[in-house]
Amino acid sequence: MRQDKDRTGKWLLAHHGDAILKLGGVTGFDSWKPLHAETVAPRRTPDGLIEVRFPGDPRPVLVLVEIETYPDADNDRQVLDDLMVLALDRGAVPEVVSLVLKPKGNLVTTGQSERVGPRGRTRVSGSWPVVRLWELSASDLLAMNDPGVIPWVPLTKSDAAPESLMATCRERIQAVTDPTDRAGLLVVTQILAGLAFPGRKFLDLFGGPEAMIESPVLDEVKEILRKRYEAEGAAKALRGAVVAALEARFGTAPAASIAVLDTYTDATQLKALVQTAATCPDLDTFVAGLTAHS
């Protein structure tokens, strides 16, 4: 998922950086444009840099963007390093938009970091706001009426069922008049929905796998998406082979007894289950082993 997130984030930064700024609390600007991060801070490439212009201010403001899938203390150290490099390069401290997409255990991103000299006499520190997507309200994002925020909606909190929420996202994106932008938003929303709702499939809502793969944008993620759909198809076929082997030997395979089979996606595990289904002494033995293995 990290590759998907990275490429999705880069596309959104390039095409809907203003929506990311709004998510990060940067508002009231007249214009914005993405910059090439690698040419500004060659020591380490931040996720994105956006140049923003505010009314009445002749000087542009640089905004450093970091997008992390999960919270981690290392995120804070990376942002501080980027801040120091950019401050040296530009002669001014940039603003920071730090987005964390999904919680994970007790890990935290604090929005603070400090570097201490070897003798402890010198300290360099920084602080910045952190936006945790799961703490934002889906209804608040939808109320912005900005198509660029729609891909982030699946990661926010909502009382709506996932299918209903995703249907709303699709409806909003379908209203986008530019076909290329509309296709891109559909792709990135599908990718981030996979992070928000692992195991759930929304392909029918987004035009099916071929629509995702044939989208004229996001060339970099097409191969990832293709491999994912091929893997999902192979896993489905192997699960079918397990059921077929059980039914051929024992006449029936009650759906309730083998429901856990649907949670298996790894091809190696499923191939082993096909072998087990073909050799186990009875259905109860298979079901007991299936439950234990899960």
Q: What is the pLDDT along the chain (294 residues), one digit of tens a residue?
A: 455 556 788 889 999 999 999 999 999 999 999 987 554 444 556 788 999 999 999 999 999 999 999 998 788 998 999 999 888 888 889 999 999 999 998 889 999 999 999 999 999 999 999 999 999 999 999 999 999 999 999 999 999 999 899 999 999 999 999 988 888 888 888 888 888 988 766 655 555 555 554 454 455 455 555 666 677 778 888 888 988 888 888 887 777 778 888 888 888 888 889 888 888 888 888 888 886 554
- Which residue blocks in 121-215 are alpha helix, DSSP H? 138-143, 162-174, 179-196, 208-213
pLDDT tens per residue across span 142-170: 999 999 999 999 999 999 999 899 999 99
Q: What sign has the CA pseudo-torsion 266, 199, 218, 76? A: negative
Query: CA end-to-end span of the chain, whole Å?
Result: 22
* Domain boundaries, given as residue ranges, for the chain: 2-135, 138-217, 231-293
| Whether this model's pTM surpasses 0.95 | no
Amino acid in the structure at residue 57: D
Rg, Å, the chain Cα set: 23
Residues in contact with 138: Cβ distance below 8 Å, sequence separation at least 6, in sequence order:
153, 156, 157, 158, 160, 165
Per CATH, the number for 2-135 is 3.40.1350
Nearest to 274 by CA among 286, 263, 292, 284: 286
Nearest to 6 by CA among 46, 58, 54: 46
